[in-house]
Amino acid sequence: MSPARPPGRRPGDADVTRHQILEAARATFAEAGFERATMRAIAGRAGVDPALIHHHFGAKESLFAAAHRLPDPRAALEPILTGPAPGMGERLARFYLQLATTPDSPVVSLFRAAATNDAAARMLREFIEHGLLGTAEDVLPYDRPRLRLALCATHLIGVVFGRSIVAVPEMTEPDVEELVALLAPALERYLTEPL
């Protein structure tokens, strides 16, 4: 006879529950935006009681921040920006579009929320100013590295906004590889040619 399991949660359940809540939050924020997403809707999607979300994350703003942890910009950008100049625009476009075009992408959700929520706009601005542009300043071997990457970032933000938020048909029809081919020359020019 095996020993009876003590009542309560099994070890590891908290991590699984936390992961389910974050996945549900990303999907709900991406669909509804920050203002219209409710803790109750997120809890329903995750299959948990809303009180459990408050236990793990506190307020909706904290849940939003946890659900939208973006990749470490240095780890992501350093190989793109320090590799050979030919192909730099293609590497950047591919990385960004793969990150930002999945159905429940935290990037799309963050962009959608930043349009109407000051905390989300501040989070996005800090990520761009300190994360992306700070990394460019450290690793991009050309003059005016912050401006160069800012041009790329705003160009790509516009593409994702048109494709994933506004859903302009001409932007939703091409697949990622076609968009990479179309965007790469402009991004490479921003990154490597004289400004």
Q: What is the pLDDT of residue 123?
A: 87
- Please, what are the domains in the chain? 13-67 (1.10.10.60), 73-192 (1.10.357.10)
Lowest mean pLDDT among 23-32, 157-166, 177-186: 23-32
What does the alpha-carbon distance between residue 77 and residue 173 come to, in Å, rounded to a whole number?
27
The whole-model pTM stands at 0.78
pLDDT in tens, 98-157: 888 876 678 888 888 888 888 888 888 988 998 899 999 999 999 999 999 999 999 999
Lowest mean pLDDT among 31-35, 77-81, 91-95, 132-136: 31-35
Q: What is the pLDDT of residue 40?
A: 96
Q: What is the pLDDT of residue 106?
A: 81
SS3 per-residue string spanning 126-173: HHHHHHHHHHHHHHCCCCCHHHHHHHHHHHHHHHHHHHHHCCCHHHHC
Q: What is the pLDDT of residue 9?
A: 46
Residue 4 binned pLDDT confidence (cut-offs 50, 70, 90): low
Residue 182 binned pLDDT confidence (cut-offs 50, 70, 90): very high
* Res 6 pLDDT > 60: no
Answer yes or no: are the C-beta atoms of 66 and 57 closer than 8 Å: yes
Q: What are residue 193's phi and psi, to 5 degrees?
A: -90, 160
